[in-house]
Amino acid sequence: MAKSSSRCCCCSWFIGILVLIAVVLAVVITIRNKANRSDDGDDIVPGPPGSIDKKYADALKIAMQFFDIQKSGKLENNKIPWRGDSGLKDGNEASLDLSKGLYDAGDHMKFGFPMAFTATVLSWSILEYADQMDSLNQLDPAKHTLKWTTDFLINAHPSANVLYIQVGDPEVDHKCWDRPETMSRKRSLTKIDTETPGTEVAAETAAAMAAASLVFKESDPKYSSSLLKHAKQLFDFADSNRGSYSVNIPAVQKYYNSTGYGDELLWAASWLYHATEDKTYLDFVSKNGDEFANFGSPSWFSWDNKLPGTQILLSRLTFFKKGLSGSKGLQGYKETAEAVMCGLIPNSPTATSSRTDGGLIWVAEWNAMQHPVSSAFLATLYSDYMLTSGIEQFSCGDTSFKPSDLRKFARSQADYMLGKNPEKMSYLVGYGEKYPEFVHHRGASIPADANTGCKDGFKWLQSEEPNPNVAYGALVGGPFLNETFIDARNNSMQNEPSTYNSALVVGLLSSLVTTSSSLESFM
């Protein structure tokens, strides 16, 4: 009888535990479901919270491939059949190995400014969404691409106050239409130093190094320490030798002209604080905010303007580091970050009018997709910061919005990009049934077995046949304001991809892979 009673007590205890677990799960699911519903109660995401969204998962796997297409140097485990080793002598004239890195776009240039931005954004994406990437076996490829890029940046920084910022002369490079594997022209180098400073490039490279040091902190501590050392040196170089690279090197103005360096200094200091927790960097963003941060005036996140990214990045401190939540020095960044978010949600009283009729954020003719993708990426980050912190809403004037409203906006931009638009065109090459076939990309346009030089390769630019090689994962420039798109190889305004676009789209898709995301602080 005693044994029987004992078993019954155990049964009751076990059943009680099961009931308690069921109740807790029900509460969690209810909360997460609310986070994934719009104000009118309509579901905005399919499936149970946390489940994989196949559409975005498939798109992410495709988007990651473009990095492999853009790699220079002696390729390792090359998975792109029409790519091979290239740029092996890059850097030779300065006795440096600059063979790695990423080609910028459809040409064979290595521009250090946008390449460093690519590395910073890719690092941020990995830091926030590594679990989502890993669930699709994309984390290791992302880290490999990042290291391929930071290896180049390390080698481009041979001493504290010297940084090589460009490989190749664009005027010479753009007179050719050839495969990177066959180019034989001289690859000139451009550098900044104390006599020819370039604060924005040095600071962006410092941001890239600092962010990447966090990515490799556990898996490769020695490499992480090296990156952090370079980041600190580059920030000191940038801050102590202030001057715009666009002013000091006028030749860059036709390609990546900078509109100022204050945003890069704040961006770099923000990443260095995350990487080191050294209060010196936090003091820098607090003391220099009034001069550089343009508080109260929302802007667009891009390779040239880091302010919105900085505002979101510093806001995460007020969400995750409770001791800083009331910091006066961070208040302006947090308020401006919310102003950026208020400008994105379509039914906000301060919503931007810079949109197509189909709802795509549209700011510029050249590379139109950069701004909606970057805006959507920031929106999902802010949404997930709120969700993780248990913040249920934020205000835009007299109207309140939830994290789900930001995620709904982000999904609308991603869905437009993937084909939900008047042209029914996926602007991510390789995704969907209809995508650009005449991408402005030399390697994709020339057969791998073609024996062409600099000039005779132009016949492939003029060819009326689709590209023989598909540039999988390329995010092209995108539509005009009237939502038209011309799929022509010589239409570089709309049909040229870039690696910094790829970093942004990888970040966005990684954030949308699961139906809701709860983040952890990486500090």
User: Which among 280, 272, 363 is positioned nearest to 313, based on CA atoms?
Assistant: 272
What's the average model confidence in pLDDT over 132-159? 98
Q: pLDDT at residue 24 above 80?
A: no
Residue showing tokens 């370079």 = 230
SS3 26: helix
Q: Band the pLDDT of 515: cuts 50, 70, 90.
A: confident
Average pLDDT, the chain: 90
Domain with 394 in it: what CATH number?
1.50.10.10
Angle between helices 262-276 and 221-240 (to 10 degrees): 150
**Per-residue pLDDT reduced to its tens digit, 158-206:** 999 999 999 999 999 999 999 999 998 999 999 999 999 999 999 999 9
Whether residue 203 contacts residue 234, with contact meaning beta carbons closer than 8 Å, is answered with yes
The token pair that represents 46 in the structure block: 């399919």
Residue 504, pLDDT above cutoff 80: yes
| Higher per-residue confidence, 261 vs 12 | 261
In a domain, 193, yes or no: no
Token pair recorded at residue 511: 């954030």
Q: How confident is the model at residue 323 (pLDDT cuts 50, 70, 90)?
A: confident
- Beta-strand relationship, 394-396 and 399-401: antiparallel
- Position 268 pLDDT exceeds 70: yes
**What integer is the mean pLDDT of 34-50?**
37
Provide the number of structural domains found in the chain: 1
Helix (H) or strand (E) holding 267: helix 262-276
Q: Is residue 482 part of a domain?
A: yes
pLDDT of residue 521: 67
HSE, CB side, 13 Å, CA atoms: give it for residue 39: 13
Round to the nearest angstrom and report the end-to-end CA distance of the chain: 57
**C-alpha closest to that of 152 among 206, 225, 80, 98:** 98
C-alpha–C-alpha distance, residues 454 and 414, integer Å:
37
Neighbours of 389 (CB within 10 A): 17
- Is there a domain that residue 329 lies in? no
3-state secondary structure of 396: strand
Q: Does the pLDDT of residue 7 top 50, yes or no?
A: no
8-state DSSP, 71: B
Q: CB 109: neighbour CB atoms within 10 A? A: 21
Give the pLDDT confidence score for residue 518 in this predicted structure: 65
Is a pLDDT exceeding 90 seen at residue 115?
yes
Q: Is 143 inside a domain boundary?
A: no
pLDDT confidence tier of residue 6, bands split at 50, 70 and 90: very low
Digit-coded pLDDT (tens) for 427-473: 999 999 999 999 999 999 999 999 888 999 999 999 999 999 999 99
Q: How far apart are CA 103 and CA 421, in angstroms?
A: 30
Which amino acid is present at 310? T
pTM comes to: 0.90
The radius of gyration of the chain from alpha carbons, rounded to an integer in Å, stands at 24
310 is a domain residue: no
pLDDT single digits (tens) 324-375:
877 888 999 999 999 999 999 999 999 999 999 999 999 999 999 999 999 9
Q: Compute how many other C-beta atoms are within 10 angstroms of the C-beta atom of residue 503.
A: 34
Residue 328 confidence (pLDDT): 82
Q: What six digits make up the tokens of 185? A: 């022209």
Domain of residue 65, residue span: 35-70+345-523
The two tokens of residue 258 are 């900078």
Sign of CA dihedral 251, 256, 258, 261: negative
Q: What is the mean pLDDT of residues 243-268?
A: 97
**Residue 426 neighbours by CB under 8 Å, 6+ apart:** 417, 418, 419, 432, 433, 434, 435
Above 50 in pLDDT, residue 252?
yes
Task: Give the CA count within 13 Å in the CB-facing half-sphere of 1.
Answer: 0
* Mean pLDDT (whole number) for 116-131: 97
Q: What band does 48 get if pLDDT is binned at 50, 70 and 90?
A: low
Supply the pLDDT for residue 31: 33
Task: Report the alpha-carbon distance of residue 78 to residue 151 in Å, rounded.
Answer: 18
Where residue 51 falls among pLDDT bands split at 50, 70, 90? confident
Within-domain flag for 177: no
Amino acid sitting at position 6: S
Looking at the domain assignment, is residue 505 inside a domain? yes
Query: Per the domain annotation, does 337 fall within a domain?
Result: no
Report pLDDT for 49: 53
pLDDT (tens digit per residue) in 287-297: 999 999 999 99
- Give the angle subtended at the CA of 198 by the CAs of 247 and 372, to the nearest 5°: 85
Q: Which are the catalytic amino acids? A: 440
